[in-house]
Amino acid sequence: MPGSDTRPIAVLFLGDSFTEGFGLMPEQSFPARIQQKLEEINSSVKVMNGGISGDTVMDAYYRLSPLLRAHPDVEVLVVFLGANDLFNGISPEFSEGHFIKIIDHARQANPDIRIMISVLPVIPGLESNGREFEKIFPRLEQEYGVELLPFFLEGVMLEPELCLPDGVHPNAQGMSLVAGTVWQSVFIDRLL
């Protein structure tokens, strides 16, 4: 298990606006809330927010190398990407190829890195590409040995009272719920 030799675990969240915390204060993003929670329990786990609004899987792949160079202690990579690929009509095959590049590059940087990917379900209104996109994740799990996580925005995305006026991005209350999902699925179930 990462960090079992008493070194702190460093976790990098690679994502888009949902990870960055679009429209919110930096401390309201789910990676920041997770870091706060870890500090409250005196955990030595360190969390980094690698989310950039608008990123596709390809965009994030090209950002990964400098992120890993800047943070060579990363032992866990959590990937939450794909929504912008769907919204922009990018082919699932193209996106899958860049997911694979992310996996390969992370393992070249650290062969022992744990890679977790949040699945992306079919999003209402984007069913045509969505069904093919949804099939990517089981293949990545089977062929590349990544760990699949639940959809981080389950129960939040498209819920008006939990979203910003755009109806898509979580507001502060919604992001608190997202942080709870991530805390349970990533940290309680897998790292702590």
**Residue 157, domain CATH:** 3.40.50.1110
* 3-class secondary-structure state, position 78: strand
Is residue 62 domain-resident?
yes
- Determine, yes or no, domain membership for 5: no
What is the per-residue pLDDT for 71? 93
On whether residue 73 sits in a domain, the answer given is: yes
pLDDT band at 126 (very low <50, low <70, confident <90, very high): confident
pLDDT of residue 1: 42
Assigned domain for 1 exists: no
**Three-class SS string for 22-89?**
CCCCHHHCHHHHHHHHHHHCCCCCEEEEEECCCCCHHHHHHHHHHHHHHCCCEEEEEEECCHHHHHCC
User: Does any domain span residue 4?
Assistant: no
Ramachandran area for residue 82 (φ above 0: left; ψ -120 to 50: alpha; else beta): left
| DSSP bridge partners of 50 | 14
Please state whether beta strands 46-51 and 147-149 pair in parallel, antiparallel, or not at all (unpaired). unpaired
Say yes or no to pLDDT of 4 above 70.
no
pLDDT score for 2: 45
Q: Where are the alpha helices (DSSP H) in 110-192?
A: 127-134, 136-144, 172-182
Catalytic residues: 17, 166, 169
At residue 41, φ and ψ (nearest 5 deg) are -100, 15
Q: What is the reported pLDDT for 8?
A: 72
Q: How confident is the model at residue 6 (pLDDT cuts 50, 70, 90)?
A: low
Helix (H, G, I), strand (E, B) or coil at 115: strand
Domain assignment present for 3: no
Tens of pLDDT, residues 134-179: 999 999 999 999 999 999 999 999 899 999 999 999 999 999 999 9
* Beta-bridge mates of residue 79: 14, 117
pLDDT tens readout for residues 27-54: 999 999 999 999 999 999 999 999 999 9
pLDDT score for 15: 98
pTM of the predicted model as reported, rounded to 2 decimal places: 0.94
Tens of pLDDT along 80-111? 999 999 999 999 999 999 999 999 999 999 99
- Average pLDDT rounded to a whole number, residues 2-16: 76
Q: What separation in angstroms does the CA of 115 have from each of 54, 132, 158, 176?
A: 22, 22, 28, 24
Domain ranges, residue 95 = 10-191
Query: Number of structural domains, the chain?
Result: 1
Look at residue 7 in the predicted model and tell me its pLDDT.
Answer: 60
Of 84, 78, 23, 76, the closest CA to residue 59 belongs to 84
With beta carbons less than 8 A apart as the criterion, state whether 62 and 101 touch: no
